[in-house]
Amino acid sequence: MAGYAVVDVETTGLFPGGQDRIAEIAVVQVSADGEVEASWSTLVNPGRDLGPQGIHGISAADVRHAPAFGEVAGQVAELVAGRAFVAHNAQFDRRFVWHAFAAEGYDVPVIEQTTLCTMRTGALLAPNAPRSLAGACAYHEVDLRSAHEALSDAMAAAELLRKFLAAGPRTLQPEWDDVVELAATTPWPHVPRKGTMAVGRGVSTERDTHFFARLVAARNRPITSWEKEEYLALVDRALLDRHLSAREHDQLRAFCAQIDLGRNDADLLHREYLAALAANAWADGVLTDAERADLHAVANLLQVSADDVDRVLADSATCPEVRSVPASRAAFRTGDLVVFTGAMREQRDVWERRARAVGLVPHPNVTKKVALVIAADPDSLSGKARKAADYGIPIVSEEGFERLLAQSMV
């Protein structure tokens, strides 16, 4: 008897077969007597926004490094084939896995008749126990290390399964052995393994270096006025919300490669950009603590030292002329179109009311006329975010948009 494949998926939403997709999957192989034999997990690039990130905690910066389900389907098939499919609230996970394979053209026997549910079994063995995974784990004294992280949830469900096997669930579920036998004897289609590496959470921290570190040392020709203006405009747009997303790091790196801009050249332009911001801050003759903090925040994002910022501020205090720098940073015009995308921490209509209060016009779709896109995650993989990036439209987070709204009311 092959045993069990305990599976957990984190998803972009609740509805497989439509717009929602798997964003993380874990499989824990468990022997017939309940012992863990192997485990595997990976993030999955769903090709769309990640949905309720406040629940599953997966970032788009990480997912953009992850394989699509089709690239790991062969590995999932190897881990699950011939084993009873087990999950907590198995109907949910089973349907997502079946639809993910179906989208790749495979009709796999991940069906109700080959599936066991630790939530259902737990309810039969202990009717008073909570039904949620966290509640069931607490009741049965099972360690759940990190809820809504696929491997953690799958390992916890595997431990619940071990305890339930020891308690003899066959006495309550006569079909138990039939489910295991059918799973063991039902053939799977051949799903080729592609050898794609699994990708875990936090991968962006390891792989996404600052764009400045990825530049060549220097170039051998002067910077033209056009190159300077285009680069500063791109920097200005990227810093609109005082955050550099992974996408913006890539955009800055790509533009520097396109015009052959080196680190030394970029560093000089960053200092010029900071000098212009400092001069603007001093324009009214007063430098507030907030303005000073903002300059230091920008310098940190551009990898300019704090000492250099202080020197720039001192120079600007004695020579406060405003240098040439793009003026778009916090400038909104009445009637500008803005688009919202992703599952935000506040209701969409709340943000739309705030936008209208300062004269902005919420718009349902991204066109070239849109001035700004506000995303639950600035690295969102949504169609709106991808189109905005193609059009060169700034993409900011909720926090960044809140900051811009506050500036517009000053």
List the chain domain ranges: 4-203, 209-318, 337-408
Residue with tokens 């987070």: 397
22-30 vs 4-11, strand pairing mode: antiparallel
Instruction: Please report the pLDDT score of residue 131 as a whole number.
Output: 96
Q: Give the residue ranges of the chain where pLDDT is below 50.
A: 322-324, 326-328, 330
306 Cα distance to chain centroid: 31
How far is the C-alpha of 115 from the C-alpha of 186, rounded, in Å? 12
Domain spanning 4-203, CATH architecture = 2-Layer Sandwich (3.30)
Instruction: Please report the pLDDT score of residue 320 as a whole number.
Output: 53
Contact 59, 53 (CB under 8 A): yes
Joined together, the tokens standing for residue 23 give 């964003």
How far is the C-alpha of 51 from the C-alpha of 341, rounded, in Å? 10
Joined together, the tokens standing for residue 116 give 């066991």
DSSP class of residue 40 equals E
Contacts of 277 (CB under 8 A, 6+ apart): 294, 295, 298, 325
242: helix, strand or coil:
coil
How far is the C-alpha of 99 from the C-alpha of 94, rounded, in Å? 9
Q: Give domain 337-408's CATH superfamily.
A: BRCT domain (3.40.50.10190)
Count of Cβ atoms closer than 10 Å to residue 320 Cβ: 15
DSSP class of residue 51 equals S
Instruction: Please report the pLDDT score of residue 280 as a whole number.
Output: 86
Instruction: Please report the pLDDT score of residue 408 as a whole number.
Output: 72
* Widest pairwise Cα distance in the chain: 86
Instruction: Please report the pLDDT score of residue 382 as a whole number.
Output: 92
